[in-house]
């Protein structure tokens, strides 16, 4: 987790269900943080068999009013965060001749809607990276899986980031209607447990589908 102060929910549930869970601090935006955490896992356990790249958020707003800084931050977490983790674990999995990398993309990595341009750019990039990478690593015993959820009932919706000065934007009426649609969408979204089950099935399979769309 990037912020261990928010770990109480997952650690208390793990304790209640007697799950052997260890929570470590890691920020996917930071090279040192990623490399140090992966090295600690190797030091403690000797191997890594599964990685699920799920860190991400959405930047909402008109492209014209999104700064380059906003766009870089979006790509830094959603795309380069995944890249960092893959680069850290791939040498380990290659030497093991075994491992599964799950990249959580989105239906937004295949179909785009307005006012989420940098988010879609990050997810389209994940799709292209994964498609190319599978040909490189599968002969080495390392599998890669793309999970493409639609709307999921999670904190993703609470963590949407808006471009600056959206109140004064000429695009505001349309953005407002889109935000209202997002709110309705989140109320009828797929339960996260459903996505988790699809991921679990993929990592337990000897021959998982490369691409899996998640819906209710």
User: How many C-beta atoms surround the C-beta of residue 49 within 10 A?
Assistant: 13
Of residues 201, 216, 204, 50, the one with CA closest to residue 149: 216
Q: Residue 50 pairs with which residues in a beta bridge?
A: 100
| DSSP track, 90-143 | HHHHHHHT-EEEEEE--GGGTS--TT-HHHHHHHHHHHHHHHHHHHHHGGGTEE
* Vertex 73: Cα angle to 29 and 146 (nearest 5): 70
Alpha-carbon gap, residue 129 to 123, rounded angstroms: 10
Of 52, 139, 126, 145, the closest CA to residue 94 belongs to 139
| Catalytic residue annotation | 105, 119, 123
Q: Which residues pair with 148 in a beta bridge?
A: 213
Distance CA 126, CA 129 (A): 5
């Amino acid at each position: 987790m990037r912020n261990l102060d928010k770990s109480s929910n997952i650690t208390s549930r793990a304790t209640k269900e007697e799950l052997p869970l260890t929570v470590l601090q890691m920020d996917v935006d930071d090279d040192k943080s990623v490399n140090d955490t992966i090295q600690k896992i190797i030091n403690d356990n000797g191997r890594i068999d599964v990685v699920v790249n799920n860190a991400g958020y959405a930047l909402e707003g008109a492209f014209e009013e999104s700064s380059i800084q906003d766009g870089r931050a979006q790509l830094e977490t959603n795309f380069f965060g995944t890249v960092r983790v893959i680069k850290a674990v791939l040498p380990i999995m290659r030497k093991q001749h075994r491992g599964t990398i799950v990249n959580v993309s989105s239906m937004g990595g295949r179909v785009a809607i307005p006012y989420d341009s940098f988010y879609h750019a990050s997810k389209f990039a994940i799709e292209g990276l994964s498609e190319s990478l599978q040909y490189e690593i599968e002969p080495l015993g390392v599998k890669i899986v793309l999970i493409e959820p639609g709307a999921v009932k999670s904190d993703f919706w609470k963590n949407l980031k808006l471009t600056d000065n959206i109140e004064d934007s000429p695009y505001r009426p349309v953005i407002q209607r889109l935000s209202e649609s997002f709110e309705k969408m989140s109320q009828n979204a797929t339960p996260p447990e459903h996505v988790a089950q699809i991921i679990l099935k993929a990592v337990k399979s000897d021959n998982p589908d490369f691409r899996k769309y998640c819906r209710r």
